[in-house]
Structure 1
Amino acid sequence: MLLKTLVLLVVSYFWNTFGTITFMIKNVCFLLGVFCVLAFAKAQQNPTSQPIKNDSVKKDTTEYFYIDGDSVSSIELDKVMLLQDLNFDSRYERIRYLLLKRKVLKVWPYAKMAAERLTVLDQRLASLETKNQRKKYSKMVEDYIEDEFKAELKKLTKTEGQILIKLIHRQTGDTAYALLKRLRSGWSAFWFDKTASLFDMSLKEEYLPETVVDDFYVEDILLNHIIDEKLEEQEPAIEFDYFKARSNWKDYERNLPPTYDSIQLAARAQRIKEYKEKKARKERRKRK
C-alpha cells in the first residue's frame, strides 16, 4: 500500500507539471527514483531481539584433519573474490568505463536502500489496524518525500536514470515497469514508459551483465568497490555469472573493428563541442 501511495504522489506531480519538455525530463527522472525513495521513507523502528534457544548438551561439530599424526581443527573462512582490473585495449571503452563509475556510485545507494527497506515498509503498513492509521502513515511518508528527496532525485541525468532502472532490477528482481504496473495499473505503466521513451529510456530495462557491455561495466565497478570496502555489499535479487560476463566482454573487445576508437572518439569530441556551444548560448541568454 505504501508503494501505491508513493506512485500516486508521483502521478499527481507528473501530470500537474506536464506543461513543458523540461518538466517532462525532470519528471521522468523523478519516476525512476520513486522506488529507491522508499528507502528514505522508513519510520524509525528498533528491531526486536529474537530468543536464542540453548541446548542442554553442547555438541562439538568441529572437523579435524590429521597431518603427520597431529590433529588440526578446521576453520571455515568467508568467501573471498579476487578481481583483476580490466585490461582495456580500446581507449574509448576505458573512457566509457570511467564515466560510468561516477554515475554508478551516485545512484547505487538509492537502489541498495530500496531493496533493503521495501519489505520493512510493507510490513509496517500491514501492522496498522485501521484504514485511517494507514492513511495517516502514508500521508506522513508523502510529506517526508516531498520535503527531503524530490529535488535531489530530479537532479538525475538521463544516463543516471538509465543506470538506476537497471540497478532497481538488480536489487529487487523487478523492472521499474513491472513495479509500476503491479502497484498502480497497467495503463499508468504503459503511459509512463511511453513518456520515458521520448528520451531514449525504457522502464522495462533489465540488468543483463552477461550480454550487455554497459551492465558488465556497472557490475565490475560495484564488485571492485565492494571488495575495497568502499561500498557495502548487497546480494543481487537476480542470478548471473560475473566471470561468464567478463569472458564475453573480452570477446567483445577482441572483435572491435580497427577504426572503432577513431570513430567513437571523434563522435565524442563532437558531442562535447555541441554541449559546450549549447551551454554558451544559455549563458548569453541569461546575461541579456
Structure 2
Amino acid sequence: MRNLVLLSFMLICGVVDAQIRDSIPSFVEDYYLVKDGDSLMIQLKEVAVLPKHKFTGQKDVHYYFWFKRKVFKAYPYAVLASKRIDSLHLRLSRIKSKRKKRAYVKRVQKYLEKELTDPLKKLTRTEGRVLLKLIHRQTGKTAYNNIKDLRSGWKAFWYNTTANLFKLSLKIKYDPAVVNEDYLIEDILQRAYIDEALPFQEPKLKMNYLEIVADKKGTVDVEEYKRMFAKQKKRRKKKKK
C-alpha cells in the first residue's frame, strides 16, 4: 500500500516547501488579444455557454487573470496525481510477489523524485493551496485523508502540522458552491474546458460543477487577493523604514 501514497507525499512535500512569494498582478500586461479575421462557415460542436463575467473594475480583471495563471499551473499536477493513483491501484492488483512490489515502489519513487520534486518546490503558497484543493477535486479525497487511509492517522497529523507552519492545511476541501476561491477555480476550469485550453479529466469528487458556475451568473469577487497584496505592501514599507 505504501506506493499508493508516494505521489501524494511528493505533492505534499513540494507544496509544504513552497516559499516563493506571490507576485502582485501587473496592471500593464496584456492578458488576452483579440484579432479581427475573415468570416468562416464551420460546423460547431455543442458546447455549454456560461454567463459573461461581471467585474467591478479594471483591477478586478487583472486579479482574476493573475489567479487564472495559478490554477493553470496547479491543475496538471492534480490531474497527474489522479492518473498515477489509478494506475498504481491497477498495477498493484496484478503484482503478487512482495519482492516485485518493493521493486516497483522504488522505481515509482525515483521517477517522482526526478520529475516532480523540483517543479513543485517552485509553486507559490497560493498555487500550493490551489493544488491541494484540486487534488481533492480530482482524487475524491483530501491529502490528509489519503495519508490517513493509506498510512496512519499519526502520519497524517504530523504532515498536516508541518503544512500548518506554512499556512497550508492538508485537510483543505474543495467546495465551489460555498467557498468563493473554489468557485473562482471552478469558473476558470469550466471556461478552460469549453475553450479546450485545459485537458478535461472526470473529477472523482462528484458535483454538478457546470451548474454551480452558471448559478453565480458571472460574478467575480477578488477582494481576498486585494487584501493579501495590501498586507504585503504594508510589510514592505515597514521593512524599508
Q: Same fold (TM over 0.5)?
A: yes
After superposition, give the CA deviation of every residue in 1:199-230 in whole Å (9 maximum; x if it has no partner): 22111111111111111111111111111111
What is the Cα deviation at residue 243 of structure 1? Answer: 3.2
> Equivalent residue for 2:211?
243
What is the CA–CA distance in structure 1 between the aligned matches of 2:230 and 2:58, rounded to whole Å? 14
Are 1:271 and 2:238 matched, yes or no?
Answer: no
Match of 2:16 in 1: 28
8 Å CA contact retained: 1:2, 1:121 = no
Matching residue of 1:6: 6
**In structure 1, what is the equivalent of residue 48 of structure 2?**
81
Change (3 A) 1:171 1:78: farther
Q: Match of 1:203, SS?
A: coil
Residue type matched to 1:3 in 2? N
**Corresponding residue of 1:140:** 107
TM-score by length of 1: 0.63
Q: Tell me which residue corresponds to 1:127.
A: 94
TM-score, normalised with respect to structure 2: 0.74
Summarize the Cα distance change of 1:228–1:99 in structure 2 as closer, same or farther, 3 Å threshold.
same
Letter in 2 for 1:271: Q
- Name 1:105's counterpart in structure 2: 72
Aligned partners of 1:2 and 1:125 also within 8 Å: no
2:233 and 2:163 mapped to 1: Cα distance?
Answer: 24
d(CA) in 2 for partners of 1:130 and 1:267?
52
How far is the alpha carbon of 1:79 from its aligned partner?
Answer: 5.3
AA aligned opposite 2:87: V
Structure 1 stretches of 5 or more lacking a match? 15-25, 31-76, 254-259, 281-288
Instruction: Give % identity.
Output: 39
Q: Is the 8 A contact 1:29 1:158 kept in 2?
A: no
Conserved? CA contact 1:92–1:265, under 8 Å:
no
- In the aligned structure 2, how far is the partner of 1:267 from the partner of 1:8? 28
> Are the counterparts in 2 of residues 222 and 231 from structure 1 also a CA contact under 8 Å?
yes
- Structure 1 vs Structure 2 CA RMSD: 3.4
Q: Determine which structure has more spread, i.e. the larger CA radius of gyration.
A: 1
Aligned to 1:163, the other structure's residue is in SS state helix
Higher relative CO (Cα under 8 Å, sequence separation at least 6) belongs to: 2
Q: Which runs of 5+ in 2 are unaligned?
A: 19-43
Q: Structure 2 CA distance, aligned partners of 1:132 and 1:266? A: 54
Residues 211-265 of structure 1 deviation map (CA, whole Å, 9 limit, x = unaligned): 1111111111111111111111122222334434453476886xxxxxx97x985
User: Partner of 2:100: helix, strand, or coil?
Assistant: helix
CA gap of 1:181–1:211, structure 2 versus 1, over 3 A, is same
Q: 2 CA distance for matches of 1:27 and 1:165? A: 8
Query: Contact 1:181 / 1:189 at 8 angstroms: preserved in 2?
Result: yes
How far the C-alpha of 1:83 sits from its partner, in A, is 1.9
Q: Secondary structure at the residue paired with 1:119?
A: helix
- 2:153 aligned partner, one-letter code: G
